[in-house]
Structure 1
């Protein structure tokens, strides 16, 4: 039986060692979250694209144990550009890993990610089999 844990999410190399093309469903903007009551005007907004990216990389691709902290965090990632895909249900983001607080653990995680993504069988997402 086939099971895809992260349907509709895709990650590709861009040719730059710290940048990735990431496709995810259109997240709620700050304005949308305020309008529907999920976020108060004075509350801090955290971009769900970055959380989607980190979750997809750590659990979906690298299989990082949930109990362990992934060495790359929210503040280590930025969105450089975005564009709508198809009918607008998905968007593609240019994600960049910042090097402000670079350490050996971050380097190791990215090396592992790039190795998996450079494999000929990589098609933008992992395939899970049950």
Structure 2
């Protein structure tokens, strides 16, 4: 067991600064949540993958609190596709950030994120120290 707050979550860049490879635990689908009673039919489904991604970049990468003031928000992120990894405990997602929705501070954060992920100090889940 690890004491890292984001154990087995990985983030990698792609050829585009707007898209990322994000590996996280496989969340419940909307249908699974309805069948077990965690969500009622007709209630809004919040995709946990997007929440994990935002929380990871805010707190895990930049050591910032994720609040309503964070420059990239839930509606700015989209899941393009996904695939199961291994036995299904994890999935890899191609996530895209919709740049046209971002403010200047959101674009700056996106640039900082892209630069960090391309740095040799980025291990996929943490930034190594100097």
Which ranges of structure 2 fall in alignment gaps of 5 or more residues?
none
**Alpha-carbon offset, residue 65 of structure 1:** 3.2
**Alpha-carbon offset, residue 126 of structure 1:** 1.2
* Aligned residues of 1:4 and 1:128 also touching (Cα < 8 A): no
RMSD: 1.9
**Alpha-carbon offset, residue 112 of structure 1:** 1.4
TM-score (norm 2): 0.90
* Aligned residues of 1:3 and 1:128 also touching (Cα < 8 A): no
**Alpha-carbon offset, residue 68 of structure 1:** 6.9
CA distance in 2 between counterparts of 1:75 and 1:51 reads 10
Q: How many residues align?
A: 128
SS for the counterpart of 1:50 is helix
From the superposition, tell whether residues 13 and 67 of structure 1 become closer, same or farther in structure 2 (CA, over 3 Å): closer
From the superposition, tell whether residues 110 and 27 of structure 1 become closer, same or farther in structure 2 (CA, over 3 Å): same
**Alpha-carbon offset, residue 3 of structure 1:** 3.4
- For CA contacts below 8 A with separation 6 or more, give which structure has more relative contact order: 1
**Alpha-carbon offset, residue 123 of structure 1:** 1.4
Question: Hey, which bits of structure 1, 4+ residues long, moved more than 6 A?
Answer: none
Which ranges of structure 1 fall in alignment gaps of 5 or more residues?
none
